[in-house]
Structures are given as structure tokens and as C-alpha cells.
Amino acid sequence: MAKIEEKKLPILNELDKPGITNEEVEDVYARWAKDYDRDIADLNYFAPANNANEVEKALKNKKDALILDAACGTGLCGIELTKRGFHNLHALDGSSEMLEQAKQKGIYKKTMCALLGPNRLDIPDNTYDAVVMSGAVGSGHVYASCLGELIRIVKPGGYVVVDTIFRYSRESGYQGKSWDEIMDDFLMAGRWVTVTRRLAEQSFNAQDGMQYAFQVK
């Protein structure tokens, strides 16, 4: 892949601050929500399409599958899923302002405002055929503490699809373990099996990361 030049956006510097808290992140997105889609369009953000491709590969022609767009932001991954024929979509995000922008796209049958973490979501066990999460992992955003909950709310045989960006995911571990160590713990425990685990080149603003997909047992 030809090298893409990183673009500068002042608000990204706020999100890149080491040790940024959930509250600080919520404040940034509250201010950014209305301009987010316009700004992000210039940043070569391929993660939503990459994740939607993984969902399509996993679910194949099951276009009526119930899918949760977790940490949905303004709904960019939801848009990519609808392009691929998926129409039974729910959305969850911790920012009410970002979630409002997602609602306005008219693609979600249900929206929920909640933070992802070790806390139990108000969602029954074995609800979704797939959960997808795009561009959400990082300091002050989403940590590996949420992975157990994502497994819980996916049906056996369903899928968890997620990406990370190396630059932002460096502080995404939980209880002294890294993001990948937590993922591997669930593999060792037989909670899921690996479908995809590969490098995702330049998936956001010239930054590399990882693409993951797991099938829940």
C-alpha cells in the first residue's frame, strides 16, 4: 500500500494526550459531534469499511442478522453495514451527542447511550449475531475490560469484530494485562476462537493497527 500522509487536526491532539480520562474524552466528542463526519472524511478512515467487510465475510448472506454497532460514534460503521445489505442494526455509544448524530442517519432500529467497560450492559445474554466496534480502543475510550461483556451479549456461534490503532491502543489494557493478553485469555478459556487477526495498514490517518474477528463459543 502506498504511504498516506498523516493529516493534522487540532482536536486529535486532545485525544492523543497520555492518560486522558473518560470524562475528558466525552467533553471532546460533545464539542466535535456535529463536525465529526466532515472532519473525519479527510483523514482516510478505513476502519469502518474494514470492519464491515469482516462482518460480511463472517455472516455471509445472513442480511437480517441482529448486529450491535458498539461505540458507534456518528454511525460510520453502520453506514458501511447498510451498504452491504445489513439492516437489523442497533447502536451503542457513551457520548449522547455522537449518538444523536448516529440517530439522524436513520439506519438503527435501537440506540443506547452507555459506556463500554467491565460494567454489565442492559442487554440480555446471547442477544446479537455480531458485535462490531470501530476506532474505539484507546486511552479514555474503550479498554480490554469490555471484551467479556461483548462475548456475553453475542450468541454462541456469533462474532465479535473490532480494530485497534497502535498509536491509540497503547493504554487499552486491563488489570495489568495488555489488550492482546486479555484477548488471548478468552482464547485459552475457550470463550471464542480466532477468525481474523492481521495487520491493518494505514486504517486511520496513515496509522497502522490490527484487525480482529472472533467467533464466540
Tens of pLDDT, residues 138-172: 999 999 999 999 999 999 999 999 999 998 888 89
Residue 40 has pLDDT above 70, yes or no: yes
159: left (phi over 0), alpha (psi -120 to 50) or beta: beta
Confidence of residue 1 (pLDDT cuts 50, 70, 90): low
Confidence of residue 86 (pLDDT cuts 50, 70, 90): very high
- Average pLDDT (7-22) is 90
Mean pLDDT, the chain, rounded, equals: 96
H/E element, 133: strand 128-133
| Cα–Cα nearest to 212, from 176, 172, 183 | 183
pLDDT, tens digit, 9 for 90 and up, residues 168-217: 888 899 999 999 999 999 999 999 999 999 999 999 999 999 999 999 99
Name the DSSP letter for residue 144. G
Helix-helix angle 76-83:47-59, to 10 degrees: 40
pLDDT, tens digit, 9 for 90 and up, residues 89-132: 999 999 999 999 999 999 999 999 999 999 999 999 999 999 99
Please tell me which residue, 8 or 98, carries the higher pLDDT value.
98
CATH class of the region 21-216: alpha beta
Percent of the chain with pLDDT over 70: 100
Please report the pLDDT score of residue 178 as a whole number: 94
User: d(Cα 145, Cα 50) in Å, to the nearest integer?
Assistant: 23
pTM over 0.95: yes
Please report the pLDDT score of residue 145 as a whole number: 97
Please report the pLDDT score of residue 202 as a whole number: 94
Please report the pLDDT score of residue 32 as a whole number: 97
Q: How far is CA 20 from the centre of its chain?
A: 19
